[in-house]
Amino acid sequence: MSSTIGMLALRCLLPGFVGTSAPDWVRRRAAEGLGGVVLFSRNVDDRNKLRALTDALHHERPGLLIAIDEEGGDVTRLEAKAGSSYPGNLALGAAGDTALTEKVAAAMGARLAEAGIDLNLAPVADVNTNPLNPIIGVRSFGSDAPAVAGQVEAWVTGMQGAGVAACAKHFPGHGDVAVDSHLALPVATEDPRERALEPFKAAIAAGVRAIMSAHIVATALDDLPATISSPVMSGLLRDELGFQGLAVTDGLEMRGLSDGRGVAEAAVLALAAGCDALCVGGGLAGQDVVDSILEAIVGAVHDGRLPEARLREAASRVDALAGWRSRQGAPKMMSDDIGLEAARRAVTADGAVDCRRQNPMGRGSRARRARRAPRRSGWERRDRRA
């Protein structure tokens, strides 16, 4: 890609792809200046193959951002075959110990750093105030804004202390809706300033490197989805809250954003509104979608719909995050036992609990089986249902 505008546009893209090795088009785009990629469970087989993949991508361009969704609990890419070694946010919120949450995030971050990951698209900072919410639910730390804020701050501190950038999501708050933004456009009627913003303020105070937008309408702020709303992504996030890090979109192909406007146009509108990095590839993971987005961005700059200065600013924020990552030291590995400890701390019981074994084969048989099959790490376990 030769044009300056095209190079800037390429820097703002974080596409996905299929396979446990990078396709030729991804490697070529990386060498040309692609901003980053997003990995999904389809890209992860085992520890060694994942590290080979990230090494190959970084070989094409050391400043390439490799991102992943690793929330713990229900949302894991590293351990999708067996289940996460770490409890999710609701369990950590139930344990109610921010020091414990920081340790869990630090252990997870060390594992990500070891795998060659630069940006973790977590934590979920949404206050789950609507019990009918179909997409946030247990991914949230809870329904009390101050408590969620404390958990988010601890999680960001632990993750970034391990050298991996955190990304608080979904701004300005996806908790007070009853619609899945993957399928349709949710509408939140409560002003985010009342509750939803508190965890994002805590994340910013903790130095979070990135914040992800939500494909929701916050009617108190604008009639457009937040991702393409200048009052939300520029006025609220930048001017009011003072965030100067990387603003990342949720997946552009999600129907809450793309319905009625298409993925390429959504990308242009998101950049114009104040987003910097454009995620796509959860569903549309081919070279064609990247080419169409690049063409649309270049055309919008030439037509005057997207100021070149805005595009330059967005690309510079991608580079700034890559620069931060390059300055982080080697990860300090931690035991996965912190995940088990956190899960146990999250359990509460109402009434008497009988923990005696009811195994008809007897304890001796179980002990013998345990000796024959020592516990394996989460990286090595496999889902028996597969």
For residue 112, give every residue at least 6 positions away whose Cβ sits within 8 Å of its Cβ, in sequence order, or none: 68, 70, 78, 120, 162, 164
Task: Tell me what pLDDT residue 353 has.
Answer: 78
* CATH topology assigned to domain 4-355: TIM Barrel (3.20.20)
Averages of pLDDT over each 10 residues, the chain, 386 residues = 87 97 97 98 95 98 97 94 93 96 96 97 97 94 98 98 97 94 94 97 98 97 97 98 98 94 97 98 93 97 97 98 94 81 87 71 45 38 32
- The CA distance from 120 to 117, in Å, is 7
Burial code of 333-370, b = ≥16 C-beta within 10 A, e = fewer?
ebebebbebbbebbeeeeeeeeeeeeeeeeeeeeeeee
Asked if 198 contacts 146 with a C-beta cutoff of 8 angstroms, the reply is yes
User: Has 174 been annotated as catalytic?
Assistant: no
Phi then psi for residue 78, to 5 deg, are -65, -35
69, 222, 250, 276: the catalytic one is 250
Task: Tell me what pLDDT residue 184 has.
Answer: 95
For residue 122, give every residue at least 6 positions away whose Cβ sits within 8 Å of its Cβ, in sequence order, or none: 69, 70, 71, 72, 75, 155, 159, 166, 167, 169
Task: Tell me what pLDDT residue 332 has.
Answer: 78
**What's the pTM?**
0.90
Both tokens assigned to 94: 């139930």
**Domain boundaries of the chain, sorted by first residue:** 4-355
182, 259, 319, 336: the catalytic one is 182
Place of tokens 């408590």: 147
For residue 32, give every residue at least 6 positions away whose Cβ sits within 8 Å of its Cβ, in sequence order, or none: 1, 7, 10
User: Has 182 been annotated as catalytic?
Assistant: yes
Task: Tell me what pLDDT residue 383 has.
Answer: 33
Task: Tell me what pLDDT residue 116 has.
Answer: 97
